[in-house]
Amino acid sequence: MLLPPDERPNILIVLIDDMGVHQTGCYGNEFYETPHLDRLAGEGIVFDHAYATAPVCSPSRAGLYTGRHPARLHLTNYIPGTEPENAPLATPPWTPFLPVEEATIGNHFRNAGYNTCHMGKWHLAIDYNYRPGRPTDPESHGFNRVIVTRKPKPDADPEADPHHIDAITNHACEFLGEIHTRPFLCMVAHNAIHRPEMAPEALVKKFTAKPGSDRDCNRPVLAAMVSHLDTAIGRLLSALDASPYAENTIVVFTADHGAFGVSSEHKPLRGAKADLYEGGIRIPLIIRLPKSSDRGRRIDLVTPNTDLLPTLTEIAGVSMSEGVYDGRSITGCLTGSETAETGDLFWHFPHYHHQGVGPCGAMRRGQYKLIEWYEGSLLGKAGAPAFELFDLEADPYEETDLSAVMPGLTVEMARRLEEWRQEVHAQPMIPNPDFDPETQQAGPPPPPGDPVSPYES
């Protein structure tokens, strides 16, 4: 049952950068220490099959904020993006910003009378040079109160809050401590745990001494960053508990996509940021509803982050502006009043990425997941598979490609994936007419200011 208009809930969303499901205790990892997130999970609802709509920052955030698929928005790479000068496939023109005409969660809730606040990373503007009120910056997308932060430089002091974890949290706690005469939407978007990886020395030493610290996915500095974040989230939840708004605030915790790391290493999921294996797109999602006795429930529903906007607007009784949305409300699953059917999920990543495996698309239907590698499907490149098919129930770690033994399903899912791309007007890659295999680069360069990827191989 939806809340009546005079009890419209406040909404607090915490969005983490580059966090995989394996980096929290509540999703089963014993190396990372997240007691405050684990407490939130015990008080809320945990989604075990939540997905980002893209394996990199900007498009996934665009999908979450608008409820529209990045392929439909033509915002398919991180902003500003880089591409190799000489590659077998030509990257299609794409939109390297979120147009102000696209209605966001900020627009919908502000139009409904909410006080809207966005603190931290944005990464949807034309560049990183934030200016208050500039088109494509947060104010132009419906947020009344804005604090914008950026990731630190590689030589920043690890002891001086380089990722602004404490600074962002301080601003958010201050906001929660104020008197609000109308409901609020507060988005707390952290720069952590994005590179550069740095954390206070004492925390790094603590995790270096733990068993398992030799695994890449358990890098002590990352565990230290997660621990710092978890402490900050604990402060944020304490500030909410001490405020007059605790009994009428929806709390959401999620991430923009999977973790940075070695794609081939199972953690336990295969894949990493910038590819479409599970490790690159599976994300944590915890939602705590106010005045709910439904605590600690886990949901197997397969849900993309485009579902979050229509779900929150339905719960709050907020009308969404007219338009085509790819997300659907899962309010019934949250309240336990109904069971939602899992529909087909789609991905389109037509880019060479300095951390990725290669340009690709994907589709999930029930237990089966198809990955299309565009160099293989469009060029028939020797040694490059065109498709991989996995049974995620029998093979959650994507170890056994079934495309050769289930050709009928592979062809059917490939046909539907192409049909979907046409439905959303996704921009396709095409063979590069100027490609010279003699001078082919290993991959695109990292973005300006980003240290060279340690995972070149």
CB atoms within 10 A of CB 5: 11
The string of DSSP codes covering 39-75 is HHHHHSEEEEEEE-SSSSHHHHHHHHHHSS-HHHHT-
Average pLDDT of span 70-88: 93
- Structural contact between residues 47 and 307, judged by C-beta atoms closer than 8 angstroms: no
pLDDT of 448 reads 60
120 Cβ contact list (under 8 Å, min separation 6): 15, 147, 148, 149, 164, 168, 187, 188, 189, 190, 191
Q: What architecture (CATH level 2) is domain 345-439?
A: 2-Layer Sandwich (3.30)
pLDDT of 355 reads 84
pLDDT of 454 reads 34
Q: What percent of the chain has pLDDT over 70?
A: 95
- Give 254-290 pLDDT, tens digit per residue: 999 999 988 788 888 999 999 999 999 999 999 999 9
**Minimum mean pLDDT range among 92-106, 218-232, 372-386:** 372-386
pLDDT of 438 reads 83
pLDDT band of 229, cuts 50, 70, 90? very high
pLDDT of 384 reads 76
Paired tokens of 39: 């407490």
The pLDDT of residue 453 is above 50: no
pLDDT band of 456, cuts 50, 70, 90? very low
Question: Position 362: which residue type?
Answer: A
The pLDDT of residue 457 is above 50: no
Helices in 282-324 by DSSP H: which ranges? 308-316
pLDDT of 162 reads 97
Read off φ and ψ for residue 207, nearest 5 degrees.
Answer: -80, -25
Q: Can you give the residue ranges of every domain in the chain?
A: 8-335, 345-439
3-state secondary structure of 299: strand
Average pLDDT of span 367-387: 92
pLDDT of 425 reads 98
pLDDT of 83 reads 84
Same fold, 8-335 and 345-439: no
The pLDDT of residue 387 is above 70: yes
Q: Is pLDDT larger for residue 415 or for residue 453?
A: 415
- Give 43-66 pLDDT, tens digit per residue: 999 999 999 999 999 999 999 999
- Give 284-326 pLDDT, tens digit per residue: 999 999 987 788 999 999 999 999 999 999 999 999 988 999 9
CATH entry, 8-335, from 3.40.720.10, 3.40.640.10, 3.40.50.410, 1.10.10.10? 3.40.720.10
The pLDDT of residue 145 is above 70: yes
224 Cβ contact list (under 8 Å, min separation 6): 199, 200, 203, 204, 206, 207
pLDDT band of 442, cuts 50, 70, 90? low
The pLDDT of residue 21 is above 50: yes
Q: What percent of the chain has pLDDT over 90?
A: 84
pLDDT band of 7, cuts 50, 70, 90? confident
- Give 166-194 pLDDT, tens digit per residue: 999 999 999 999 999 999 999 999 999 99
pLDDT of 449 reads 53
> What are the angstrom distances between the C-alpha of 36 and each of 41, 251, 343, 420, 433?
9, 13, 33, 40, 53
> What are the angstrom distances between the C-alpha of 181 and each of 61, 146, 449?
29, 19, 42
How many helices (H) and strands (E) the chain has is answered by 12, 15
Q: What is the mean pLDDT of the chain?
A: 93
